[in-house]
Amino acid sequence: MLTRKQHDLLLFIHDRIKETGVSPSFDEMKEALQLASKSGIHRLITALEERGFLRRLPHRARALEVVKLPNEAAGGRNVVSMKDRRPAPARVEAESAGSVELPLMGRIAAGTPIEAIQDEIDRVPAPTSWLGKGEHYFLEVKGDSMMDAGILNGDYVLIQRTDTAHDGEIVVALVDDHEATLKRLRRKGRTIELIAENDDYDNQEYPGEHVKIQGRLVGLSRRYH
C-alpha cells in the first residue's frame, strides 16, 4: 500500500506524461507535492520503483515510466498494470487515425544555443492524436540541459509552430535571430529567462526583444537501439 505522498507523486507523473509525453522535472515534482527539497522526491521515486510502480528507463537519466497505477476504486490497495489498461482516448485515436510524417528540421540545443533551425533534413512519423492546430515539426535534441524534464540527447521533440507561449512551457527560443535553444520559458518584467532542467547548467536571461518564440513542445519521440 502506498503512502499518500507516494500515491500523489505517482499520479502526478502519470498525468504529466500523458499530457506532455515527457516525465516532469524534479523541481516540478517538488513543487507539486510541496516538498522542501528534491531529496524527498528521490526517496519517493526510489520507493515507487522498489514497489514496482515506476521504472527508470535504462541509460536515460531521470526518465521515468509508469508501470502500474493504484486502483482508485479499491482505495489504493490494489493495482492495475499499465499493460492491462484499455488504451486512453488519445491512444485509440492514434491507432484509428494512423500517423503522419512531419519534417525533421535539424538539431536544437538543450545546452548552450546553437545555430538557428535548419532546413528539412528528414521525415519522422507522429500519431495524428499528438497534433493540434497549425504547423508542426520535429527537432533532434543535442545536449542534456533538459534531462530533468525527461528530454534527452538524441530525442526527437515535436514542436507546434507558434510565436507565443505561456510561462512555464518548454519552447524553441531564437536568440538574436541566429541561435536556437530548447528551454522552459519565464518572463521577468522586460527580460526573458530561459530555464534549464539540469542543475549543471545556468539559466539564460536576455532582454525581451532579443528572444523570439519559434514554437512550443507538444510531444517527444525516442528511438531505442
What CATH number is given to the structural domain containing 203? 2.10.109.10
Q: Write out the H or E segment, with its range, that includes residue 225.
A: none
Distance CA 10, CA 13 (A): 5
End-to-end CA, the chain: 36
Does residue 110 sit in the same domain as residue 186? yes
How many domains would you assign to the chain? 2
Does residue 165 sit in the same domain as residue 101? yes
Q: Strand pairing of 156-161 and 170-175?
A: unpaired
**Residue from 23, 145, 188, 212 carrying the catalytic annotation:** 145
Nearest to 104 by CA among 56, 134, 58, 137: 137
Average pLDDT value over all residues in the chain: 80
Determine whether 145 is an active site residue. yes
**Residue from 39, 183, 188, 212 carrying the catalytic annotation:** 183
Give the rounded percent of residues in the chain with a pLDDT score beyond 90: 28
Determine whether 133 is an active site residue. no
Last residue of a domain, one of 35, 60, 85: 85
Does residue 154 sit in the same domain as residue 102? yes
Read off the pLDDT of residues 52-106 as tens digits, 9 standing for 90 and up.
Answer: 888 877 555 557 888 888 764 334 333 433 334 333 333 333 333 478 888 888 8
Distance CA 213, CA 49 (A): 37
Mean pLDDT across 19-32: 83
The reported pLDDT for the residue numbered 60 is: 52
One-letter-per-residue 3-state SS of 89-115: HHHHHHHHHCEEEEEEEEEEECCCCEE
Distance CA 32, CA 16 (A): 11
The reported pLDDT for the residue numbered 80 is: 39
Does residue 72 sit in the same domain as residue 164? no
Does residue 117 sit in the same domain as residue 65? no
Does residue 115 sit in the same domain as residue 35? no
In a domain, 156, yes or no: yes
Does residue 66 sit in the same domain as residue 103? no
Cell readout for 119 is: 532546413
Does residue 23 sit in the same domain as residue 125? no
pTM for the full model? 0.57
Does residue 10 sit in the same domain as residue 77? yes
Backbone region of residue 132 per phi and psi (left: phi > 0; alpha: psi in -120 to 50; beta: other values)? beta
Distance CA 106, CA 180 (A): 11
Tell me which residue range forms the domain holding 203. Answer: 95-221
Mean pLDDT across 27-56: 85
Does residue 143 sit in the same domain as residue 168? yes
Does residue 75 sit in the same domain as residue 161? no
What is the pLDDT confidence band of residue 175, given thresholds at 50, 70 and 90? very high
What CATH number is given to the structural domain containing 65? 1.10.10.10
Residues 137/123, Cβ–Cβ less than 8 Å: no
The reported pLDDT for the residue numbered 182 is: 94
In a domain, 90, yes or no: no
The reported pLDDT for the residue numbered 92 is: 30
Q: Give the residue with greater pLDDT, 213 vs 120.
A: 213
Read off the pLDDT of residues 128-171 as tens digits, 9 standing for 90 and up.
Answer: 888 888 899 999 999 999 988 889 988 999 999 999 999 999 99
In a domain, 189, yes or no: yes
The reported pLDDT for the residue numbered 192 is: 96
Does residue 168 sit in the same domain as residue 208? yes
What is the pLDDT confidence band of residue 186, given thresholds at 50, 70 and 90? very high
Distance CA 112, CA 202 (A): 10
Last residue of a domain, one of 85, 105, 120: 85
What is the pLDDT confidence band of residue 1, given thresholds at 50, 70 and 90? low
The reported pLDDT for the residue numbered 129 is: 82
